[in-house]
C-alpha cells in the first residue's frame, strides 16, 4: 500500500529485461526492488521521501542480449509504451522515470502521460538539463562507439547541439553475440572497487583529462602528491579523481582566486560529470 505520508509516488521503468537464463545478464531480474535497481546505494538518499517501485521493462524480443542497435531500441521502445499507459491508468503514480541511457520510447511516453497530467523524464534528457545548469558546455562519454551517433541524435532531439562540446566513448560495449569473453563494463567496475587495475577506469580517467584539456588548453599532470585530502577516505568506497584550483593564498587569511579560474573549473567539472554519467 502507498505511504500517505509521502508526497511523491514514482515508477521507475527499465528499458528492457533479459531472460533469467541469459548469459548476458547485467542486473538481477528477480528479488527485492533495491537489488533490481542498478547503483541503488548511490541514489538511496534521494529516494528516502519517495514512494517508489521499479518495473523490469519489456522482455527483450530480439534475443537474450542487451539492446544496442537501432532496431533493438525500437523494439524495446514499443514494448515499454503499454507499461507506461498501464501505470498512468492505475492512478498509483504521480511521476514516471524511464531508465536507460538511450531512453527508448521517451517522447511517445510523454505523449501518453500528458493526458493524465503525469510528468515523464528519462536519463539523457535529465542529464543534459542538469549539465546545462552546471556550466556553458558539456561533453558526453558513452560505453561504445556504436552508441555515439545515437546519442548525437538525442542531443539534437533535446535541442542541446550548441551546448554539447563532444561525444566520446571508452570502448567497452555491453556483451552480446558473438561475445567470447572480452571485458565487460560490470566486470571492470568490480575490479576497480576491489582496488585492482581497470582498463575501463583508465579510459574514463583519460576522458576526464581530455575534458580538462578541452577547456584549458593544458594537459593536467596525474599526481597523488599535495596536501591532506578527504579523498583518502572516499577511496575506500569508490575510485577518486581529485582536481581543483591552486593559488598563492591557499589556506590563508583572505584566500581568493580569480573569477575566470572559477568559471573554467565549472566547465571542467561539468565535462567530467557528463562523460562519467553518460
Pick 235 or 141 by higher pLDDT. Answer: 141
Task: Assess whether 156 and 257 both reside in one domain.
Answer: yes
pLDDT, position 176:
84
pLDDT tens, position by position, 6-15:
789 999 999 9
126 in a structural domain: no
Pick 244 or 134 by higher pLDDT. Answer: 134
Instruction: Identify the CATH number of the domain in which residue 18 sits.
Output: 3.40.50
pLDDT, position 238:
66
Domain holding 276, by residue range, is 135-278
The number of distinct structural domains making up the chain is 2
123 in a structural domain: no
Question: From the CB of residue 127, how many other CB atoms can be counted at a distance below 10 Å?
Answer: 21
Q: Cis peptide before 178, with omega less than 30 degrees from 0? A: yes
127 in a structural domain: no
Task: Assess whether 82 and 183 both reside in one domain.
Answer: no
Helices (H), the chain: 33-36, 40-43, 70-90, 106-114, 123-134, 148-157, 185-193, 199-216, 231-234, 259-277
Dist CA 236 CA 252 (whole Å): 30
pLDDT tens, position by position, 17-49:
999 999 888 888 888 999 999 888 888 988 989
Task: Assess whether 112 and 149 both reside in one domain.
Answer: no
Highest mean pLDDT among 23-27, 33-37, 177-181, 218-222: 33-37
Task: Assess whether 180 and 145 both reside in one domain.
Answer: yes
124 in a structural domain: no
Residue that terminates a domain, selected from 68, 91, 118:
118
Dist CA 99 CA 14 (whole Å): 5
Task: Assess whether 155 and 225 both reside in one domain.
Answer: yes
Task: Assess whether 72 and 210 both reside in one domain.
Answer: no
Amino acid at each position: 500500500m502507498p505511504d500517505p505520508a509521502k508526497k511523491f509516488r514514482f515508477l521507475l521503468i527499465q528499458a528492457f529485461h533479459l531472460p533469467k537464463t541469459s548469459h548476458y545478464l547485467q542486473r538481477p531480474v528477480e528479488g527485492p526492488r533495491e537489488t533490481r535497481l542498478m547503483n541503488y546505494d548511490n541514489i538511496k538518499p534521494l529516494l528516502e521521501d519517495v514512494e517508489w517501485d521499479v518495473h523490469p521493462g519489456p522482455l527483450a524480443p530480439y534475443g537474450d542480449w542487451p539492446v544496442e542497435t537501432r532496431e533493438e531500441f525500437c523494439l524495446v521502445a514499443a514494448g515499454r509504451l503499454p507499461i507506461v499507459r498501464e501505470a498512468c491508468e492505475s492512478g498509483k503514480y504521480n511521476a514516471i522515470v524511464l531508465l536507460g541511457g538511450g531512453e527508448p520510447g521517451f517522447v511517445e511516453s510523454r505523449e501518453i502521460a500528458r493526458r493524465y497530467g503525469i510528468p515523464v523524464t528519462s536519463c539523457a534528457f535529465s542529464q543534459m538539463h542538469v549539465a546545462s545548469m552546471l556550466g556553458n558546455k558539456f561533453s558526453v562519454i558513452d560505453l561504445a562507439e556504436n552508441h555515439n551517433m545515437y546519442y548525437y541524435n538525442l542531443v539534437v532531439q533535446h535541442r542541446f547541439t550548441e551546448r554539447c562540446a563532444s561525444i566520446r566513448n571508452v570502448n567497452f560495449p555491453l556483451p552480446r553475440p558473438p561475445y567470447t569473453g572480452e571485458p565487460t563494463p560490470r566486470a571492470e567496475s568490480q575490479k576497480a572497487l576491489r582496488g585492482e587495475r581497470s582498463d575501463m577506469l583508465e579510459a574514463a580517467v583519460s576522458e576526464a583529462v581530455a575534458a580538462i584539456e578541452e577547456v584549458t588548453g593544458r594537459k593536467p599532470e596525474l599526481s597523488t602528491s599535495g596536501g591532506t585530502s578527504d579523498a583518502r577516505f572516499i577511496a575506500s568506497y569508490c575510485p577518486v579523481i581529485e582536481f581543483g584550483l591552486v593559488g598563492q593564498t591557499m589556506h590563508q587569511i583572505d584566500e581568493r582566486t580569480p573569477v575566470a579560474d572559477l568559471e573554467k573549473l565549472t566547465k571542467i567539472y561539468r565535462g567530467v560529470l557528463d562523460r562519467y554519467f553518460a
